[in-house]
């Protein structure tokens, strides 16, 4: 038997229709089998979307290997069944081990499964990642398309709206989105929960909208052909579907727009007759075998590079700012980023309407093609960066710390799960923001990200260290969160007056640095508080010369090195200093570290922000809460009196 694959813009032949019907039938059987075996999962949406996925994967992806992102990741049974039908994964394994301990076939799609480009779950994230993949193809001058799938209820998520406007503005006409419009969400129908006019939603943003019967393979193929003919704008296919389609005891509930089978697994007495009705006959099996022989693309297992492994980037020569330089850390970041971008076309700068504040403006002004403006859409920006990073780019996305770690934490967390390579650099952190007030004074941002398992957190101590840290994070794999304040503070120097972080300094993750030696107390300080600690020590040299204080600049609160341990063992006393709350910052992390390492100290105290502060200059706010040099000096004296 000779089986010919269809060509775009040509109708499916009778054999091709029989093939896709057999393909979908077999997938439906797998969906029922795996959710029944697990007694868990989401069969309803899997069944309503399976006909489109079957057409897309069988007739397009199996030949091109173009990227697909399933944003409504709970329809993993549909995705896994398609991958199994193509021979990419074991059908027996996925059907028997779905959602079980030790299986890679998790409840939501995951990159551990060959053929899955990005693991999703929280709704809204995947479509932004798909936009990142599509933008990456554009930047590479590639003609490859990117396909995304989402549910209709998912359009209630704000991040979806962020993506819609971004994709239209950036003319991502290589992005084809399918919306499974089955009119049902988790608890009830869209009409009951929050009705949407999908056509108007997308058309208002400038998308090309096509509507199609999601269970008609001929119509689906023709509509895909139409989508490929459109240029200048992204395309959305609104697929009118029925939840539970093709299963006798589920379909009536879907037709009535009831959510019965959204997340409920079928019982044995229900599923047995349905499974028997979906057994393929010999002709169908032979047709599928002939089709599989013509598959051109086979996915490779996803790569998960070791965290902090070196990347082949040209890091250039670090800039060294003189002791009298009037520069803040965010400006040093912007200048280092420009130098990196000039040397490496894969470096991208992204921001959310803040390029002049977060200093990506230098890239924008000199290399506009390597600068991506996302608008006021921090969630989309972080997920977009995830897609870009898995496409060979190194994205630096920047906004204020309060927005990055609170508004976009979910997106950073899902990137973390996916082992992406996103460099998040936040400015305007801590009381350093000053007059902007408590909504913008990020004093919990490090704590927000400290629990992310594949994200490293860093805070530089001055502009020179900032430059070196930015070059380090660019050239080492993994997600990073680098925080810095807004105000300019002094260039740290050695005791001879030369820059501490000079040409010979090389940053490594978690490195701590003894800025000033001493024997009686370790001041473990981060960020702007390092320079305040130096000034406090100078004050005490005059008023209390008998006190010997060692200042250690701590760059990360997730990893402490032997330098800090040696200092604390030597002095036996610790005072932590941070422009952050003490509940989830440097002080709390170091305290746990000392307990775990069984390092006993005579005294351990923490200084940081204890309450939200109102507006004021950074100097006034530091003074008010005792984090300026005078306040630190006073606390040190009190410690020795205790």
Query: Are 613 and 621 spatial neighbours (Cβ–Cβ below 8 Å)?
Result: yes
CA distances from 116 to 139, 264, 346, 609 (A): 22, 24, 23, 44
What secondary structure letter does DSSP report for 504? T
Q: Are residues 463 and 537 in the same domain?
A: no
Helix axes 217-229, 14-38, angle to 10 degrees: 100
Give pLDDT, residue 50: 98
* Token digits of residue 37: 């075996």
Residue 318 within any structural domain of the chain:
no
Domain endpoint, select from 441, 465, 483: 483
Average pLDDT, the chain: 97
Question: What pLDDT digit, counting tens, does each position of 355-395 carry?
Answer: 999 999 999 999 999 999 999 999 999 999 999 999 999 99
Query: Are 338 and 362 spatial neighbours (Cβ–Cβ below 8 Å)?
Result: yes
**Separation CA 130–CA 68 (nearest Å):** 7
CA dihedral 388, 389, 391, 394 (to 10 degrees): 90
Domain endpoint, select from 267, 292, 317: 292
Q: Are residues 179 and 273 in the same domain?
A: yes
CA distances from 191 to 16, 102, 196 (A): 37, 39, 8
What secondary structure letter does DSSP report for 70? E
Query: Residue 387: how many CB atoms within 10 A of its CB?
Result: 30
Question: What pLDDT digit, counting tens, does each position of 30-84 carry?
Answer: 999 999 999 999 999 999 999 999 999 999 999 999 999 999 999 999 999 999 9
Query: Residue 15: how many CB atoms within 10 A of its CB?
Result: 16
Question: What pLDDT digit, counting tens, does each position of 212-247 carry?
Answer: 999 999 999 999 999 999 999 999 999 999 999 999
Residue 415 within any structural domain of the chain:
yes
Q: How many domains does the chain have?
A: 3
Question: What pLDDT digit, counting tens, does each position of 161-220 carry?
Answer: 999 999 999 999 999 999 999 999 999 999 999 999 999 999 999 999 999 999 999 999
CATH number at residue 538: 3.40.50.920
* Residue 17: CA count within 13 A, CB half-sphere: 12
CA distances from 100 to 39, 80, 445, 522 (A): 10, 14, 35, 49
SS3 240: strand
CATH number at residue 434: 3.40.50.970
Q: What average pLDDT does this structure show over 327-337?
A: 98
Give pLDDT, residue 1: 59
pLDDT at 2 over 70: no
105 is in which domain, residue-wise? 14-292
Q: What average pLDDT does this structure show over 284-288?
A: 96
Q: Are residues 51 and 183 in the same domain?
A: yes
Domain endpoint, select from 437, 464, 483: 483
Global pTM value: 0.97
Q: Are residues 56 and 163 in the same domain?
A: yes
Q: H or E segment at 37?
A: helix 14-38
Residue 23 within any structural domain of the chain:
yes
Q: Are residues 471 and 531 in the same domain?
A: no
**608 closest CA partner among 409, 442, 426, 401:** 442
Q: What average pLDDT does this structure show over 572-588?
A: 98
Question: Which residues fall within 8 angstroms of residue 132, CB to CB, at 6 or more apart?
Answer: 383, 384, 385, 386, 387, 388, 389, 390, 391
Q: Are residues 605 and 468 in the same domain?
A: no
Residue 309 within any structural domain of the chain:
no
Q: Are residues 636 and 520 in the same domain?
A: yes
Q: Are residues 347 and 386 in the same domain?
A: yes
**Separation CA 49–CA 109 (nearest Å):** 15
Residue 140 within any structural domain of the chain:
yes
Give pLDDT, residue 642: 83
Q: Are residues 268 and 406 in the same domain?
A: no
Q: Are residues 223 and 157 in the same domain?
A: yes
Q: Are residues 131 and 169 in the same domain?
A: yes
Strand partners, 412: none
Question: What pLDDT digit, counting tens, does each position of 459-486 carry?
Answer: 999 999 999 999 999 999 999 999 999 9
Q: Are residues 252 and 355 in the same domain?
A: no
Give pLDDT, residue 426: 98
Residue 306 within any structural domain of the chain:
no
Give pLDDT, residue 275: 95
Give pLDDT, residue 110: 98
Question: Which residues fall within 8 angstroms of residue 536, CB to CB, at 6 or more apart?
Answer: 523, 629, 630, 632, 633, 636
Residue 543 within any structural domain of the chain:
yes
% of the chain beyond a pLDDT of 70: 100
Residue 227 within any structural domain of the chain:
yes
Question: What pLDDT digit, counting tens, does each position of 411-454 carry?
Answer: 999 999 999 999 999 999 999 999 999 999 999 999 999 999 99
């Amino acid at each position: 038997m000779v089986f010919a694959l269809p060509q775009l813009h040509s109708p499916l032949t009778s054999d091709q229709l029989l093939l896709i019907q057999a393909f979908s039938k077999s997938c439906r059987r797998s969906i029922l089998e795996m959710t029944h075996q697990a007694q868990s999962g989401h069969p309803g949406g899997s069944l309503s979307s399976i006909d489109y996925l079957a057409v897309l994967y069988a007739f397009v992806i199996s030949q091109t290997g173009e990227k697909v992102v399933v944003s409504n990741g709970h329809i993993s049974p549909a995705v896994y069944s398609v991958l199994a039908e193509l021979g990419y994964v074991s059908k027996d394994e996925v059907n028997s081990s779905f959602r079980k301990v030790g299986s890679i076939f998790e409840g939501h799609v995951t990159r551990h499964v060959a053929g899955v480009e990005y693991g999703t779950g929280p709704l809204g994230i995947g479509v932004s990642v798909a936009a990142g993949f599509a933008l990456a193809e554009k930047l590479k001058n590639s003609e490859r398309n990117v396909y995304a799938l989402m549910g209709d209820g998912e359009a209630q998520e704000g991040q979806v709206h962020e993506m819609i406007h971004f994709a239209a503005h950036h003319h991502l006409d290589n992005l084809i989105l399918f919306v499974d419009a089955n009119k049902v969400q988790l608890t009830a129908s869209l009409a009951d929960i929050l009705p949407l006019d999908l056509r108007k939603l997308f058309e208002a943003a400038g998308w090309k909208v096509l509507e199609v019967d999601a269970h008609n393979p001929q119509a689906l193929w023709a509509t895909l052909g139409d989508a490929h003919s459109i240029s200048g704008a992204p395309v959305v296919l609104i697929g009118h579907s029925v939840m539970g389609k093709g299963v006798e005891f589920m379909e009536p509930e879907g037709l009535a727009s009831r959510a019965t089978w959204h997340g409920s697994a079928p019982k044995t007495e229900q599923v047995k007759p349905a499974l028997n009705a979906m057994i393929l006959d010999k002709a169908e099996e032979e047709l599928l075998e002939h089709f599989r022989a013509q598959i051109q693309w086979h996915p490779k297992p996803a790569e998960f590079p070791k965290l902090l492994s070196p990347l082949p980037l040209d890091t250039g020569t670090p800039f060294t700012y003189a002791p009298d330089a009037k520069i803040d850390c965010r400006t040093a970041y912007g200048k280092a980023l420009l130098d990196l971008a000039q040397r490496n076309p894969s470096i991208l700068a992204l921001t959310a309407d803040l390029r002049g504040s977060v200093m990506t403006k230098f890239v924008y002004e000199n290399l506009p093609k390597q600068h991506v403006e996302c608008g006021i859409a921090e969630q989309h920006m972080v997920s977009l960066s995830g897609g870009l990073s898995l496409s060979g780019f190194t994205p630096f996305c920047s906004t204020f710390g309060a927005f990055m770690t609170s508004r976009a934490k979910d997106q950073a967390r899902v990137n973390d799960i996916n082992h992406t390579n996103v460099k998040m650099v936040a400015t305007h952190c801590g009381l350093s923001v000053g007059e902007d007030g408590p909504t913008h004074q990020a004093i919990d941002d490090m704590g927000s990200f400290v629990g992310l398992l594949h994200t490293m957190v860093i805070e530089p101590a001055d502009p020179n260290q900032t430059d070196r840290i930015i070059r380090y994070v660019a050239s080492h794999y993994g997600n990073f969160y680098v925080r810095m304040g807004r105000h300019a503070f002094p260039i740290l120097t050695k005791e001879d007056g030369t820059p501490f972080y000079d040409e010979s300094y090389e940053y490594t993750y978690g490195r701590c640095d003894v800025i000033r030696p001493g024997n009686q107390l370790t001041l473990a300080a981060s960020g702007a508080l390092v320079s305040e600690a130096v000034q406090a020590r100078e004050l005490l040299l005059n008023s209390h010369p008998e006190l010997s204080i060692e200042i250690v600049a701590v760059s990360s609160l997730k990893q402490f090195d032997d330098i800090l341990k040696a200092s604390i063992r030597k002095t036996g006393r610790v005072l932590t200093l941070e422009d952050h709350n003490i509940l989830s910052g440097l002080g709390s992390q170091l305290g746990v570290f000392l307990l775990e390492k069984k390092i006993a100290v005579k005294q351990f105290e923490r200084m940081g922000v204890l309450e939200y502060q109102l507006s004021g200059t950074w100097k006034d706010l530091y003074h008010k809460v005792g984090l300026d040099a005078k306040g630190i000096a006073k606390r040190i004296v009190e410690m020795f009196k205790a």
